[in-house]
Amino acid sequence: MVCEDQVQTELPAAAERPDSRHGALGPLRRPGLLSPDKLKAAIATRAKAEGFSVMRVASTDAIPEAPGRLAGWLEAGHHGDMTWLTERTAERADPATLWPAARSVVMLGMSYAGEGDPLAVLQQRDRGAISLYARRRDYHDVIKGKLKSVASVLAARGEAEVKVFVDTAPVMEKPLAQAAGLGWQGKQTVLVSRRHGAWLFLGAIYTSAELPPDAPERDHCGSCTRCLDICPTKAFPAPYQLDSRRCIAYLTIEHQGHIDAEFRAGIGNRVFGCDDCLAVCPWNKFAEASHEARLALKSELGALPLADLAALDDAAFRMLFAGTPVKRTGRDRFIRNVLIAIGNSGDPALAASAEALLDDPSPLVRAMAAWALWQLAPDRAANLAPARLAQETDPDVRAEWTQPSPNQLEPA
């Protein structure tokens, strides 16, 4: 989802590549080079072969509203502690500023629609809900290779320069995808497609090739507000505006610190990400389940018992989530999330899992172990509190022992 530490990948134009058979010949089109229309068709063919569900083109000046919207979002503080979003904003909001040689943006979407109801696991309160995108191989790894393959067509058959991006800084993939006509930014801000619903991973190729642009998609949300209404932590101050600081995806994946008491009940049993505002979109009914083998769902991650998750040490965490996006949070933040889910489970049998983590080296874990114990076994927590306060030095963990955190939101 967010992967700003990855750098964009560049392929040199065909003439610069060591294996190029063309050499640098001046402006005449060499044999094998394609006209813009044919080049676009060739890219579409390769994109389809690589498993992309949709590919369309935008010009580099297609999102003139983006700089103002990005600035407003940042000024409102809606990025939380994702401070990297405040850097290189001019390049982020304008492809031509990021790369002056760029003439076109090829936007690609890959479906990750699943079968069945992705929210069903939310009813299993003793299990951990991992969002649909993360129960599989990390899409960054899969899509980057596929983007490079598509981009190689541009380099070889258009003699164009290319840079490929999937979640790499600084690119605004959703407005670009809307401008290219892949779909529109729904009221929950995610790109929604009439054919694939809200389940599309996005990737971008910036290129020096002049390709015929496609028409932008218009908004098909109408009077629907399902995604806004379902949000458990009320993260939408208005339609089309997301305050990340209130979003469970942000809190459970990106946020490094303690999670405010205000949001804990709303998190329910979501231990990594959240799908609610995507899953309720009526446009999903047209989405076919994804058949991309390299993004196949790992069924074993579907509804893992919270007791098993709480028992993971660092090595076991890495092994269980190897190759998936979950590994990025690291064990401590993940166990923080699991303990919140345990506290929300209403299952006194899980109090033992919380108690077993009271001495964990991570204050993030100790704090949420104390909180979960207060939720499930308040008498036991009250008995332990004096001794715990006598030995605990971390102020945030002490605060959990001093004041059981009130749930300010109803459980989802």
What angle, rounded to 10 degrees, do the helices at 395-402 and 363-376 form? Answer: 10
User: Binding of ligand SF4 at residue 248 (CB under 6 A)?
Assistant: yes
Residue numbers belonging to the annotated binding site: 92, 167, 191, 202, 221, 224, 227, 231, 247, 274-275, 277, 281
Rounded Cα gap, residues 327 and 329, in angstroms: 6
Task: Name every residue whose Cβ is closer than 8 Å to that of residue 260 and which is 6 or more positions away in sequence.
Answer: none
User: Binding of ligand B12 at residue 69 (CB under 6 A)?
Assistant: yes
Please state the closest distance from residue 43 (CB atom) to ligand SF4, in A.
Answer: 28
CB atoms within 10 A of CB 218: 8
User: Binding of ligand B12 at residue 254 (CB under 6 A)?
Assistant: yes
Tokens of 339: 């303990």
Q: Which stretch binds ligand SF4 (CB under 6 A): 12-20, 77-85, 275-283, 333-341?
A: 275-283
Measuring CA to CA, which residue among 166, 143, 158, 200 is closest to residue 43? 158
Q: Closer CB to ligand B12, residue 122 or residue 171?
A: 171
Which of ligand SF4, ligand B12, none interacts with 2 (beta carbon under 5 to 8 A by kind)?
Answer: ligand B12
Rounded Cα gap, residues 393 and 399, in angstroms: 10
User: Would you say how long the chain is, in residues?
Assistant: 412
Tokens of 231: 């949000």
Please state the closest distance from residue 228 (CB atom) to ligand SF4, in A.
Answer: 7
Which of ligand B12, ligand SF4, none interacts with 172 (beta carbon under 5 to 8 A by kind)?
Answer: ligand B12
User: What's the Cα-to-Cα distance from 196 to each of 114, 169, 183, 189, rounded to whole Å?
Assistant: 11, 25, 9, 16
DSSP state of 166: S
Which of ligand SF4, ligand B12, none interacts with 171 (beta carbon under 5 to 8 A by kind)?
Answer: ligand B12
Which of ligand SF4, ligand B12, none interacts with 202 (beta carbon under 5 to 8 A by kind)?
Answer: ligand B12
Q: Closer CB to ligand B12, residue 72 or residue 77?
A: 72
User: What are the E-state strand segments in 175-321?
Assistant: 184-185, 191-192, 200-207, 270-272, 304-305
User: Binding of ligand B12 at residue 242 (CB under 6 A)?
Assistant: yes
Q: Closer CB to ligand B12, residue 263 or residue 401?
A: 263
* Residue whose beta carbon is closest to ligand B12: 273
| Chosen residue from 96, 224, 261, 384 binding ligand SF4 by CB under 6 A | 224
Of the residues 167, 214, 243, 276, only one is catalytic, namely 167
Which of ligand SF4, ligand B12, none interacts with 133 (beta carbon under 5 to 8 A by kind)?
Answer: ligand B12
Tokens of 84: 């990297």
H or E element in which residue 353 lies = helix 351-355
User: Binding of ligand SF4 at residue 200 (CB under 6 A)?
Assistant: no
The DSSP annotation for 104-151 comes to EEEEEEEE---SS-TTGGGG-TTEEEE-GGGSSS-HHHHHHHHHHHHH
Helices (H), 55-103: 66-75, 89-93, 95-98
Whether 167 is catalytic: yes
Q: Closer CB to ligand B12, residue 158 or residue 186?
A: 186
Q: Closer CB to ligand B12, residue 167 or residue 292?
A: 167
Please state the closest distance from residue 251 (CB atom) to ligand B12, in A.
Answer: 9
User: What's the Cα-to-Cα distance from 15 to each of 103, 119, 155, 208, rounded to whole Å?
Assistant: 18, 50, 8, 13
Residue numbers of the site for ligand SF4 (CB under 6 A)?
186-188, 192, 221, 224-227, 230-233, 235, 242, 247-249, 274, 276-277, 280-283
Residue numbers of the site for ligand B12 (CB under 6 A)?
1-2, 69-70, 72-73, 82, 131, 133, 166-167, 171-175, 185, 188-191, 200-202, 219, 240-242, 244, 247, 249-250, 254, 273-275, 277-278
What residues are labeled active site?
Answer: 167
